[in-house]
Chains A and B, each alone.
Chain A
Amino acid sequence: METKERIESIINSDDVCLFMKGTPDAPQCGFSMAVSNVLKHLKVNFNGINVLDDEKLRQEIKEFSDWPTIPQLYVKGEFIGGCDIVKEMFEKGELKVLFEEKKII
């Protein structure tokens, strides 16, 4: 499968997808843990995809979003941001609003 199709099939299979290092229960990086904790705090169900299990995916997701770092958060197929943006949106209350508007919480 082409990269783009492969990623799209992942991000369209769940409303909220987090590409991260490690898993939601055992994050392997502080940035991944921070975003995972924000989602748990907002009681959002999400699919945590461990890029450390798949080196190819780890590179492909960076190309797909033109974004050089992990974690990456996708909501209903749309790239929302990395750790800094997600944390900033959470602190400003914007993230909760986004999830409410998308009828996720």
Chain B
Amino acid sequence: MALPVEEIKELIIASIPDASIEIKDLMGDNNHYQALIKSKMFSGLSKIDQHKLVYKSLKGKMGNELHALSITTEEK
């Protein structure tokens, strides 16, 4: 039930190629993360749709292997 930071970044980049991603491992346990993701692809989308884009890039892992990923999205 844990996903390493590099794997999360790779998954996001695969769907959002221009993303700049900062991920903090809040507890040092590969399971509680905070991510700041910036991309031009967020432009014109509601916050809900921006977050959905990130969730979709994680291919079903969110809410399963990945319990605690707090997301902040910003337009580049």
Contact = CB atoms under 8 A, between A and B. Distances in A.
Contact of A66 (B52, B60, B63): B52
A3 B58 CA distance: 25
A79 B70 contact: no
Contacts of B52: 66-67
A78 to B, nearest CB: 10
Contacts of A84: 51, 70-72
Contact of B47 (A31, A68, A83, A85): A85
Interface string A58-101: 00001000111110000000010111110011000000000000
Interface residues of A, number: 15
B60 A83 contact: no
A70 B60 CA distance: 14
A89 B51 CA distance: 14
A69 B47 CA distance: 15
Contacts of A70: 63
B47 A81 contact: yes
A69 B72 contact: no
Contacts of B71: 84
Interface string B40-76: 0000000110011001000010110000101110000
Contact of A85 (B48, B63, B68): B48
13 contacts: A66-B52, A67-B52, A67-B55, A68-B60, A68-B62, A69-B55, A81-B47, A84-B51, A84-B70, A84-B71, A85-B47, A85-B48, A88-B47
Interface of B: 47-48, 51-52, 55, 60, 62-63, 68, 70-72
